[in-house]
């Protein structure tokens, strides 16, 4: 097994040079298991431009991330042309056409292409929460370090490389969400859970609203009631909460209540009606509908499954 992996790695790891670029890259072939169940690597490497050039791609079943280590260039994507320089990064869906080109200030890039069954949903969520195709960080070191580790892992001989690569790509996605979804002023501050100014100039702590829901889920709760309690407009709270936690206030209230209901269904003898009331639902039918929407089964089915040893 290890010898087989080493042979494939030596075959896939290549040094490439022509009149335009010099690059080192690994064209990786994941296992069928990785393709069906994990985030999987397609290609990773580093590129040094030798002269200005343009490369174009379209309809790739891939997601591209790259960082400009030095030099300058351009990316054309979704009808927009972005000017790139040192420290700029790119994260795009390659199913859409794109082209990239180095300027006279020849650029040096580190990149990786990867995919996975859930990547369309991940990328859509990233863009919904404010992620941009091109962004800049003052300190790109965490991303560069991950790319280096990804290259080394793909070039290694571990028989669990696919799992290790999945872990690194998951970490890359985590960094992208953490560092780049909120980039400007107020939105960035909301995302980190810090105090943020509302339209009236006062400050709001979004985490305080979450904590309030966590401890008052048995009481009547709504966006209007929260706005009245915290003295901010419901529209501002709705936007700030979703930007901070990735879901609406109503969805979070439902998740907290259903979570409490699951505990009571498993570890108490309360009736379904009593469980619903203790979880913040006074109407049993509404409780059952909300529970099924989240769990895919009714409260009584959930209890029967757990009592019979099934999950």
Helix axes 206-216, 249-267, angle to 10 degrees: 30
Span 105-124, average pLDDT? 94
Look at residue 1 in the predicted model and tell me its pLDDT: 31
Average confidence score pLDDT of the chain: 83
Look at residue 203 in the predicted model and tell me its pLDDT: 55
Span 15-38, average pLDDT? 83
Sequence-distant (6+) residues with CB within 8 A of 55 are 99, 100, 101
Strands (E), the chain: 13-17, 21-27, 40-49, 54-57, 63-70, 72-77, 80-85, 88-93, 98-102, 108-115, 134-136, 195-197, 203-205
Q: Which long-range contacts (CB under 8 A, 24 or more apart) does 143-148 make?
A: 143/65, 143/67, 143/89, 143/172, 143/175, 144/67, 144/69, 144/110, 146/171, 146/172, 146/175, 147/44, 147/67, 147/110, 147/111, 147/112, 148/110
The pLDDT > 70 percentage for the chain reads 84
Q: What is the DSSP letter of 222?
A: -
Choice between 105 and 200, residue whose per-residue pLDDT is larger: 105
Q: Which residues of 83-97 are buried (b: 16+ CB within 10 A; e: fewer)?
A: ebeeebbbbbbbeee
- How many CA atoms within 13 Å lie on the side-chain side of 69? 16
Per residue in 257-267, pLDDT (tens digit) is 999 999 999 88
The whole-angstrom distance between residue 243's C-alpha and the CA centroid of its chain comes to 13
Q: What tokens were used for 214?
A: 């966590």
Look at residue 36 in the predicted model and tell me its pLDDT: 94
Look at residue 16 in the predicted model and tell me its pLDDT: 56
Look at residue 33 in the predicted model and tell me its pLDDT: 93
Choice between 1 and 68, residue whose per-residue pLDDT is larger: 68
Beta bridge partners of 135: 89
Per residue in 222-249, pLDDT (tens digit) is 889 998 888 888 888 888 888 778 788 9
180/137 Cα distance (integer angstroms) = 8
Nearest to 281 by CA among 307, 297, 268, 299: 299
- Cα angle: 96, vertex 79, 128; to 5 degrees: 65
Q: What tokens were used for 2?
A: 């290890």
Q: Is 132 helix (H, G, I), strand (E, B) or coil?
A: coil
| Residue 154 in this model has a pLDDT that exceeds 90 | yes
Choice between 42 and 139, residue whose per-residue pLDDT is larger: 42
Look at residue 14 in the predicted model and tell me its pLDDT: 58
Confirm if 161 and 5 have CB atoms less than 8 A apart: yes
Span 117-145, average pLDDT? 89
- Specify the range with the lowest mean pLDDT, choosing from 13-17, 56-60, 190-194, 226-230: 190-194
| Residue 91 in this model has a pLDDT that exceeds 50 | yes
Choice between 27 and 13, residue whose per-residue pLDDT is larger: 27
């Amino acid at each position: 097994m290890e010898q087989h992996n080493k042979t494939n790695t030596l075959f896939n790891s290549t040094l490439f040079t022509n009149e335009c670029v010099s690059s080192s890259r690994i064209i990786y072939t994941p296992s069928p298991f990785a393709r069906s169940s994990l985030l999987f690597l397609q290609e990773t490497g580093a590129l040094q431009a030798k002269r200005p050039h343009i490369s174009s791609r379209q309809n790739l079943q891939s997601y591209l991330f790259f960082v400009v280590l030095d030099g300058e260039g351009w990316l054309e994507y979704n009808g927009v042309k972005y000017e790139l320089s040192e420290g700029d990064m790119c994260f795009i869906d390659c199913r859409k056409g794109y082209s990239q080109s180095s300027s006279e200030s020849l650029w040096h890039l580190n990149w990786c292409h990867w995919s996975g069954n859930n990547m369309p949903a991940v990328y859509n969520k990233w863009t919904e929460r404010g992620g941009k195709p091109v962004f800049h960080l003052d300190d790109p070191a965490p991303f560069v370090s991950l790319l280096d580790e990804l290259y080394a892992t793909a070039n290694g001989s571990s028989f669990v490389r696919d799992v290790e690569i999945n872990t690194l790509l998951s970490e890359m996605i985590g960094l992208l969400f953490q560092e780049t979804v909120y980039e400007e002023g107020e939105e960035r501050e909301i995302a980190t859970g810090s105090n943020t100014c509302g339209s009236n100039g006062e400050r709001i702590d979004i985490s305080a609203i979450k904590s309030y829901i966590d401890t008052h889920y048995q009481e009547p709760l709504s966006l209007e009631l929260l706005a009245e309690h915290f003295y901010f407009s419901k529209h501002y709270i709705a936007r700030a909460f979703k930007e901070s936690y990735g879901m609406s206030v109503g969805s979070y209230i439902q998740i907290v209540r259903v979570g409490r209901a699951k505990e009571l269904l498993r570890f108490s003898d309360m009736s379904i009606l009593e469980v619903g009331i203790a979880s913040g639902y006074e109407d049993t039918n509404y409780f059952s509908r909300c529970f099924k929407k989240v769990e895919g089964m009714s409260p009584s089915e959930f209890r029967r499954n757990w009592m019979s040893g099934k999950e």
